[in-house]
Amino acid sequence: MRKPLISGNWKMNLNHFEALTLVEKLAYQLTKDVFERVDVAVHPPFTDLRTVQTVIASDSLEIQLGAQHCHWEATGAYTGEISPAFLAKLDVKLVICGHSERRELFGETDEMVNHKVKAIIAHDMTPIMCVGETLEEREAGQTETRVLDQVRAGLDGLKREQVGQMVLAYEPIWAIGTGRTATADDAQAVCAAIRGAVVEGWGAPAGESIRIQYGGSVKAANAAELIAMPDIDGALVGGASIDAEEFARLVAFAAEA
Protein backbone atom coordinates (compact mmCIF):
# COMPACT_ATOMS: atom_id res chain seq x y z
CA MET A 1 0.00 0.00 0.00
CA ARG A 2 1.29 3.46 -0.92
CA LYS A 3 1.89 5.78 2.01
CA PRO A 4 0.30 9.20 1.34
CA LEU A 5 2.60 12.20 1.00
CA ILE A 6 1.41 15.65 2.06
CA SER A 7 3.72 18.37 0.74
CA GLY A 8 3.51 21.99 1.82
CA ASN A 9 4.66 24.34 -0.94
CA TRP A 10 5.30 27.68 0.78
CA LYS A 11 5.99 29.38 -2.56
CA MET A 12 7.47 32.91 -2.16
CA ASN A 13 6.27 33.33 1.41
CA LEU A 14 8.02 33.50 4.81
CA ASN A 15 11.50 34.74 5.62
CA HIS A 16 13.80 32.38 7.52
CA PHE A 17 12.62 33.60 10.94
CA GLU A 18 9.00 33.01 9.98
CA ALA A 19 9.89 29.64 8.47
CA LEU A 20 11.55 28.56 11.71
CA THR A 21 8.47 29.50 13.71
CA LEU A 22 6.14 27.71 11.31
CA VAL A 23 8.02 24.41 11.26
CA GLU A 24 8.29 24.40 15.06
CA LYS A 25 4.54 25.03 15.41
CA LEU A 26 3.81 22.33 12.86
CA ALA A 27 6.04 19.78 14.59
CA TYR A 28 4.34 20.50 17.91
CA GLN A 29 0.89 19.82 16.46
CA LEU A 30 1.69 16.61 14.57
CA THR A 31 1.67 13.44 16.64
CA LYS A 32 3.88 10.40 16.13
CA ASP A 33 1.00 8.20 15.00
CA VAL A 34 0.28 10.66 12.18
CA PHE A 35 3.78 10.14 10.78
CA GLU A 36 3.23 6.39 10.86
CA ARG A 37 0.38 6.85 8.38
CA VAL A 38 1.44 9.86 6.31
CA ASP A 39 4.72 11.32 5.03
CA VAL A 40 4.90 15.09 5.54
CA ALA A 41 7.22 17.47 3.67
CA VAL A 42 7.69 21.23 3.61
CA HIS A 43 9.11 23.17 0.66
CA PRO A 44 10.37 26.57 1.87
CA PRO A 45 11.93 29.31 -0.27
CA PHE A 46 15.65 28.80 -0.92
CA THR A 47 16.72 31.40 1.65
CA ASP A 48 14.92 29.37 4.34
CA LEU A 49 16.27 25.93 3.52
CA ARG A 50 19.31 25.95 5.81
CA THR A 51 17.26 27.24 8.74
CA VAL A 52 14.56 24.62 8.31
CA GLN A 53 17.11 21.87 7.69
CA THR A 54 18.88 22.76 10.94
CA VAL A 55 15.75 22.59 13.09
CA ILE A 56 14.64 19.32 11.47
CA ALA A 57 18.05 17.77 12.18
CA SER A 58 18.58 19.20 15.67
CA ASP A 59 15.10 18.26 16.89
CA SER A 60 15.01 14.91 15.02
CA LEU A 61 11.74 15.87 13.36
CA GLU A 62 10.03 13.42 11.03
CA ILE A 63 9.12 16.23 8.63
CA GLN A 64 10.96 15.89 5.32
CA LEU A 65 12.69 18.86 3.72
CA GLY A 66 11.80 19.73 0.15
CA ALA A 67 12.79 22.38 -2.38
CA GLN A 68 10.58 24.22 -4.85
CA HIS A 69 12.81 24.14 -7.92
CA CYS A 70 16.32 23.46 -9.21
CA HIS A 71 18.43 23.64 -12.35
CA TRP A 72 19.44 20.46 -14.14
CA GLU A 73 23.18 21.23 -14.11
CA ALA A 74 25.28 20.65 -10.99
CA THR A 75 27.55 23.65 -11.63
CA GLY A 76 28.06 26.35 -14.24
CA ALA A 77 27.33 29.88 -15.40
CA TYR A 78 23.64 29.94 -14.46
CA THR A 79 23.30 33.08 -12.38
CA GLY A 80 20.40 32.91 -9.97
CA GLU A 81 19.78 29.20 -10.42
CA ILE A 82 20.09 26.49 -7.78
CA SER A 83 22.16 23.35 -8.24
CA PRO A 84 20.64 19.98 -7.33
CA ALA A 85 24.00 19.13 -5.79
CA PHE A 86 23.63 22.05 -3.37
CA LEU A 87 20.16 20.85 -2.37
CA ALA A 88 21.40 17.33 -1.74
CA LYS A 89 24.07 18.69 0.61
CA LEU A 90 21.30 20.30 2.66
CA ASP A 91 19.62 16.91 3.07
CA VAL A 92 16.73 17.90 0.81
CA LYS A 93 14.63 14.82 0.11
CA LEU A 94 12.10 16.05 -2.45
CA VAL A 95 12.21 18.65 -5.22
CA ILE A 96 9.19 20.06 -7.04
CA CYS A 97 9.67 20.38 -10.79
CA GLY A 98 7.34 21.46 -13.56
CA HIS A 99 5.01 23.37 -11.23
CA SER A 100 2.40 25.23 -13.26
CA GLU A 101 3.74 28.58 -12.05
CA ARG A 102 7.18 27.66 -13.36
CA ARG A 103 5.68 26.55 -16.66
CA GLU A 104 3.29 29.49 -17.04
CA LEU A 105 5.39 32.35 -15.64
CA PHE A 106 8.94 31.26 -16.39
CA GLY A 107 8.56 29.31 -19.60
CA GLU A 108 9.58 25.86 -18.43
CA THR A 109 9.02 23.31 -21.17
CA ASP A 110 8.41 19.58 -20.94
CA GLU A 111 11.99 19.04 -22.11
CA MET A 112 13.36 21.23 -19.30
CA VAL A 113 11.20 19.39 -16.77
CA ASN A 114 12.58 16.09 -18.05
CA HIS A 115 16.15 17.33 -17.59
CA LYS A 116 15.34 18.39 -14.03
CA VAL A 117 13.68 15.08 -13.15
CA LYS A 118 16.80 13.21 -14.26
CA ALA A 119 19.11 15.58 -12.36
CA ILE A 120 17.08 15.29 -9.15
CA ILE A 121 17.18 11.50 -9.34
CA ALA A 122 20.92 11.54 -10.12
CA HIS A 123 21.50 13.41 -6.85
CA ASP A 124 19.50 10.86 -4.83
CA MET A 125 16.47 13.05 -4.28
CA THR A 126 12.85 12.41 -5.26
CA PRO A 127 11.16 14.54 -7.92
CA ILE A 128 7.61 15.74 -7.44
CA MET A 129 6.76 16.27 -11.10
CA CYS A 130 3.69 18.44 -11.64
CA VAL A 131 1.26 18.13 -14.52
CA GLY A 132 -2.05 19.85 -15.21
CA GLU A 133 -4.36 21.57 -17.66
CA THR A 134 -5.56 25.14 -18.04
CA LEU A 135 -9.22 26.12 -17.82
CA GLU A 136 -9.34 26.54 -21.60
CA GLU A 137 -7.96 23.03 -22.12
CA ARG A 138 -10.40 21.61 -19.61
CA GLU A 139 -13.40 23.30 -21.24
CA ALA A 140 -12.24 22.03 -24.63
CA GLY A 141 -12.21 18.45 -23.33
CA GLN A 142 -8.43 18.19 -23.60
CA THR A 143 -7.62 17.44 -19.95
CA GLU A 144 -6.49 13.86 -20.36
CA THR A 145 -4.57 14.50 -23.59
CA ARG A 146 -2.70 17.46 -22.13
CA VAL A 147 -1.92 15.84 -18.80
CA LEU A 148 -0.77 12.51 -20.22
CA ASP A 149 1.42 14.26 -22.80
CA GLN A 150 3.15 16.04 -19.92
CA VAL A 151 3.55 12.77 -18.02
CA ARG A 152 5.13 10.93 -20.94
CA ALA A 153 7.44 13.83 -21.84
CA GLY A 154 8.56 14.39 -18.27
CA LEU A 155 9.35 10.71 -17.70
CA ASP A 156 10.96 10.11 -21.06
CA GLY A 157 14.17 8.10 -20.87
CA LEU A 158 13.75 7.00 -17.25
CA LYS A 159 14.10 3.40 -16.11
CA ARG A 160 11.14 1.58 -14.64
CA GLU A 161 12.58 1.51 -11.13
CA GLN A 162 13.28 5.25 -11.27
CA VAL A 163 9.71 6.03 -12.28
CA GLY A 164 8.32 3.81 -9.54
CA GLN A 165 10.11 5.82 -6.85
CA MET A 166 8.86 9.19 -8.07
CA VAL A 167 5.94 11.40 -7.11
CA LEU A 168 3.61 12.91 -9.69
CA ALA A 169 1.32 15.78 -8.78
CA TYR A 170 -1.85 16.46 -10.74
CA GLU A 171 -2.58 20.15 -10.28
CA PRO A 172 -5.30 21.55 -12.53
CA ILE A 173 -4.06 25.07 -13.20
CA TRP A 174 -7.57 26.52 -13.00
CA ALA A 175 -7.81 25.35 -9.36
CA ILE A 176 -4.51 26.70 -8.02
CA GLY A 177 -5.00 29.61 -5.66
CA THR A 178 -8.52 30.22 -6.95
CA GLY A 179 -10.47 28.46 -4.22
CA ARG A 180 -11.88 26.15 -6.89
CA THR A 181 -11.16 22.45 -6.47
CA ALA A 182 -11.77 19.54 -8.79
CA THR A 183 -14.35 17.20 -7.34
CA ALA A 184 -12.88 14.11 -5.73
CA ASP A 185 -14.35 11.99 -8.53
CA ASP A 186 -12.89 14.21 -11.26
CA ALA A 187 -9.48 14.29 -9.58
CA GLN A 188 -9.58 10.52 -9.17
CA ALA A 189 -10.39 10.03 -12.85
CA VAL A 190 -7.36 12.05 -13.97
CA CYS A 191 -5.05 10.43 -11.42
CA ALA A 192 -6.25 6.99 -12.55
CA ALA A 193 -5.47 7.95 -16.16
CA ILE A 194 -1.99 9.09 -15.08
CA ARG A 195 -1.37 5.77 -13.33
CA GLY A 196 -2.60 3.95 -16.40
CA ALA A 197 -0.13 5.86 -18.58
CA VAL A 198 2.71 4.92 -16.21
CA VAL A 199 1.67 1.26 -16.33
CA GLU A 200 1.51 1.39 -20.12
CA GLY A 201 4.90 3.04 -20.50
CA TRP A 202 6.92 1.66 -17.59
CA GLY A 203 5.13 -1.45 -16.36
CA ALA A 204 2.70 -2.46 -13.65
CA PRO A 205 5.20 -2.41 -10.75
CA ALA A 206 6.12 1.22 -11.52
CA GLY A 207 2.47 2.16 -11.87
CA GLU A 208 1.61 0.52 -8.58
CA SER A 209 4.42 2.09 -6.55
CA ILE A 210 4.50 5.64 -7.95
CA ARG A 211 2.68 8.14 -5.72
CA ILE A 212 0.25 10.59 -7.31
CA GLN A 213 -0.72 13.73 -5.41
CA TYR A 214 -3.53 16.15 -6.07
CA GLY A 215 -2.84 19.89 -5.87
CA GLY A 216 -5.26 22.76 -6.26
CA SER A 217 -6.82 24.67 -3.35
CA VAL A 218 -6.47 21.69 -1.00
CA LYS A 219 -7.63 22.47 2.54
CA ALA A 220 -8.44 20.53 5.69
CA ALA A 221 -12.08 20.54 4.64
CA ASN A 222 -11.52 18.59 1.41
CA ALA A 223 -8.27 16.68 2.04
CA ALA A 224 -9.77 13.49 3.46
CA GLU A 225 -12.27 13.07 0.61
CA LEU A 226 -9.57 13.53 -2.01
CA ILE A 227 -7.02 11.23 -0.39
CA ALA A 228 -9.62 8.52 0.18
CA MET A 229 -9.68 8.02 -3.58
CA PRO A 230 -7.78 4.90 -4.72
CA ASP A 231 -5.36 6.67 -7.07
CA ILE A 232 -4.73 9.84 -5.02
CA ASP A 233 -1.76 9.31 -2.73
CA GLY A 234 -1.53 12.67 -1.02
CA ALA A 235 -1.66 16.37 -1.71
CA LEU A 236 0.55 19.23 -2.87
CA VAL A 237 -0.71 22.06 -0.68
CA GLY A 238 -0.14 25.78 -1.28
CA GLY A 239 -1.75 28.50 0.83
CA ALA A 240 -3.05 26.18 3.54
CA SER A 241 0.49 24.96 4.25
CA ILE A 242 1.68 28.31 5.65
CA ASP A 243 -0.93 28.18 8.40
CA ALA A 244 0.40 25.67 10.95
CA GLU A 245 -2.99 24.82 12.45
CA GLU A 246 -4.72 24.42 9.10
CA PHE A 247 -1.90 22.32 7.67
CA ALA A 248 -1.76 20.12 10.77
CA ARG A 249 -5.52 19.53 10.54
CA LEU A 250 -5.16 18.70 6.86
CA VAL A 251 -2.41 16.17 7.60
CA ALA A 252 -4.46 14.62 10.41
CA PHE A 253 -7.51 14.24 8.16
CA ALA A 254 -5.29 12.65 5.50
CA ALA A 255 -3.98 10.17 8.05
CA GLU A 256 -7.54 9.10 8.81
CA ALA A 257 -8.65 8.81 5.18
Residue 99 appears among annotated catalytic residues: yes
Q: What angle do CA 47, 130, 40 make, to 5 degrees?
A: 60
Provide the pLDDT for residue 212: 98
SS (H, E, C) the chain: CCCCEEEEECCCCCCHHHHHHHHHHHHHHCCHHHHHHCEEEEECCHHHHHHHHHHHHHCCCCCEEEECCCCCCCCCCCCCCCCHHHHHHCCCCEEEECCHHHHHHHCCCHHHHHHHHHHHHHCCCEEEEEECCCHHHHHCCCHHHHHHHHHHHHCCCCCHHHHHCCEEEECCHHHCCCCCCCCHHHHHHHHHHHHHHHHHHHCHHHHHHCEEEEECCCCHHHHHHHHCCCCCCEEEECHHHHCHHHHHHHHHHHHHC
pLDDT at 8 over 80: yes
pLDDT at 21 over 90: yes
Q: If you average pLDDT over residues 32-48, what whole number do you get?
A: 97
Provide the pLDDT for residue 65: 98
Of 101, 133, 137, 171, the active-site residue reads: 171
User: For the segment 48-99, what is each residue's pLDDT rounded down to a tens digit?
Assistant: 999 999 999 999 999 999 999 999 999 999 999 999 999 999 999 999 999 9
Predicted TM-score (pTM) of this structure: 0.96
User: For the segment 174-220, what is each residue's pLDDT rounded down to a tens digit?
Assistant: 887 777 778 999 999 999 999 999 999 999 999 999 999 999 889 99
User: For the segment 116-138, what is each residue's pLDDT rounded down to a tens digit?
Assistant: 999 999 999 999 999 999 989 99
The CATH code of the domain that includes 84 is: 3.20.20.70
In Å, how far are 21, 173, 185, 233 from 99, measured between CA atoms?
26, 9, 23, 18
Provide the pLDDT for residue 178: 75
Q: Domain residues for 26?
A: 5-256
Of 43, 69, 71, 99, the active-site residue reads: 99
- Count up the domains in the chain and report the number: 1
Q: If you average pLDDT over residues 216-226, what whole number do you get?
A: 91
Contacts of 87 (CB under 8 A, 6+ apart): 49, 67, 70, 95, 123, 125
User: For the segment 152-165, what is each residue's pLDDT rounded down to a tens digit?
Assistant: 999 999 999 999 99
pLDDT at 257 over 90: no
